[in-house]
Amino acid sequence: MKSLKVGLIQQRCVADVDTNRQKLAANIEDVVTRGAELVVLQELHNSLYFCQVESVNNFDLAEPIPGPSTDFYGTLARKFGVVLVTSLFERRAAGLYHNTAVVFEKDGSIAGKYRKMHIPDDPAYYEKFYFTPGDLGFHPIHTSVGTLGVQVCWDQWYPEGARLMALQGADLLIYPTAIGYESSDVPEEQERQREAWTTVQRGHAVANGLPVVAVNRVGLEEDLSGQTNGIQFWGSSFVAGPQGELLARASNSEEENLVVTVDLEHSEQVRRWWPFLRDRRIEEFASLSKRFID
């Protein structure tokens, strides 16, 4: 496949899960009618971003995989004949939960899943309370539209996962995301953070010679505990090419569906110009497995 049309769905979420899912279904249909062959959703798209507070009641949002949501999204993938990347709150067992990306093939079957590896624990992002770190490793998922290097949000700040996906033949790097502004930061700091988020992922594209797809939430979600002023998710979902070039970037404040054509053949040429995989000094990298080198 020389090119691929990728649909990105950047939307606001509400408290009602069924409302979010029906809205996503309509948006999936929209990008498919515009030619999308691969559709990527944002992180934890079924609900509000519940990790702003630590509440055991929020575990009721979790579902087994397979389960009701995989049935729902699998049906959509089959109906529209599209490969679909979703992000679900997985209940693996009582007291054992994951932040899990599930990829559906065009026939509605589960092509594979990835459990989020890096789990943040910051004010308004209390994910360690909810999610056990992933145990499936960094392995791309094979689909009919290409081999997808799927990770989730906080993973996008780390180069190692992107590299491991690339070394195993990923055609694209994909990051469902939920990230936004802290209200007490001045506008200049907020913009530095948003641009850093974009830049580090464009760096993964350059370092690995692969396109990157990042899909973020948008809009203000309140902190029901009152400890913060909530999160203003900064949207800005984007697609970057294998040289880090921005192919498309969504609004930082509004809902938006994008359909972006990605030239997969271009990655081959870029890697011939910049043979980073060839020149890696792998015999000197053993210390990367250490937490810190004293």
71-96 per-position pLDDT tens digit:
999 999 999 999 999 999 999 999 99
Please state the φ and ψ torsions of residue 83, each to the nearest 5 degrees. Answer: -85, 130
Question: What is the reported pLDDT for 182?
Answer: 85
Given the residues 90, 153, 221, 256, the one annotated as active site: 153
**What is the three-class DSSP state of 124?**
coil
Mean pLDDT confidence for 107-134:
97
pTM for the model: 0.97
Given the residues 90, 116, 127, 256, the one annotated as active site: 116
Tens of pLDDT, residue by residue over 171-207, are 999 999 999 998 889 999 999 999 999 999 999 999 9
Its sign, for the CA torsion 68, 34, 23, 252, is positive
60 alpha-carbon distance from chain centroid:
23
Per DSSP, what are the bridge partners of residue 9?
257
Per DSSP, what are the bridge partners of residue 259?
7
Given the residues 13, 37, 43, 127, the one annotated as active site: 43
116 catalytic per annotation: yes
Question: What is the reported pLDDT for 32?
Answer: 98
- The candidate with the shortest Cα–Cα distance to 90, out of 65, 113, 68, is 65
128 catalytic per annotation: no
Taking 80 as the threshold, does the pLDDT of residue 1 lie above it? no
284 catalytic per annotation: no
What are the chain's domains? Answer: 3-289 (3.60.110.10)
> What ranges in the chain are assigned the alpha helix state H?
17-33, 68-80, 159-167, 187-208, 264-273, 276-279
- H/E run at residue 38: strand 38-40
